[in-house]
Amino acid sequence: MAHRSWCAEADGQPSNERLEFLGDAVLGLVVTAHIYAEYPDLPEGELAKVRASVVSAPALSEVAGALGVGDALQLGKGEDSSGGRSKPSLLADALEALIGAVYLDGGMEAASRLVLTLLADRIEDAAAGPGGEDYKTRLQELSSQRFDQLPVYTVSDTGPDHAKHFRATVSIAGVERGQGEGRSKKQAEQAAAQLASQTLECSTSGRQETPGRQESQNGGGGATRRDGDDA
């Protein structure tokens, strides 16, 4: 958390710039490996756009601000008095330094958990934007056109709070249309919506299907909670 402005006033104490350098590389690798594995249909150019939006200084500074990193910064008197604790560049750099420190202390596994915990939602949002596919929106449009109803999602989860795994089932007009899994509720719903929308698009039947007619039954398990479409 030591900014160079503080180091200049602290008898040559080392700044966080070397940790920032390391953390930047770790951050890039973790995000790149994650989106490569999680979004196999995205071409290289779109993957690059998703990564760039997630590891950008504005995005990192927002995350750092939410964590209260600014309060922990060690700043020189001039930098502190000029609002350094809320400067996006300083916050983003400090977050990268923090990632670098976690990597040195706990290795890549610990650093990966930290990065994905902090950025998973932003990665999903970026991948579902212009560079990705928002399957829930696509399914909502198909459902309205073909059935005049909205999809209904049922979500269950397993595992401890810090490492939950989610499973989603989407139904339309009382008929199950798809299932999906993920490390977040949103990711599981997107996966279920992807399967359902692709199935509907590939269907050669133009007629509306009768509610209650089950096309597939993949089974489930565990306690569930029901959520309406909350895209």
Supply the CATH number for residue 190's domain.
3.30.160.20
Helices (H), ranges, 8-87 = 17-38, 44-54, 57-67, 69-72, 77-81
Domain that holds residue 163: 135-228
Same domain, 113 and 162: no
Domain end among 127, 147, 175: 127
Residue 161 has what pLDDT?
Answer: 81
Residue 113 has what pLDDT?
Answer: 96
Q: Which two tokens stand for residue 198?
A: 């692709």
Residue 133 has what pLDDT?
Answer: 56
Same domain, 21 and 99: yes
pTM beyond 0.75, yes or no:
no
List Cα–Cα distances, 24 to 7, 69, 84, 94, 193, in angstroms: 21, 17, 20, 10, 34
Residue 225 has what pLDDT?
Answer: 39
Asked about 96 being catalytic, the answer comes back as yes
Same domain, 49 and 106: yes
Give the separation between CA 114 and CA 111, rounded to whole angstroms: 5
Residue 103 has what pLDDT?
Answer: 98
Give the separation between CA 131 and CA 50, rounded to whole angstroms: 7
* Planar angle of CA 79, 85, 87, nearest 5 degrees: 85
Give the separation between CA 22 and CA 183, rounded to whole angstroms: 27
Give the separation between CA 210 and CA 220, rounded to whole angstroms: 23
Catalytic site residue from 46, 79, 96, 134? 96
Contact criterion met (CB below 8 Å) for 187 and 124: yes
Residue 99 has what pLDDT?
Answer: 97
Task: State the total domains in the chain.
Answer: 2
Asked about 134 being catalytic, the answer comes back as no
Residue 228 has what pLDDT?
Answer: 43
Domain end among 74, 106, 127: 127
Give the separation between CA 51 and CA 136, rounded to whole angstroms: 22
Residue 153 has what pLDDT?
Answer: 93
Give the separation between CA 88 and CA 121, rounded to whole angstroms: 20
Domain end among 127, 158, 190: 127
Same domain, 69 and 43: yes
Same domain, 42 and 149: no
Catalytic site residue from 20, 24, 124, 176? 24
| Residues in the chain where the model's pLDDT stays below 70 | 129-134, 204-231
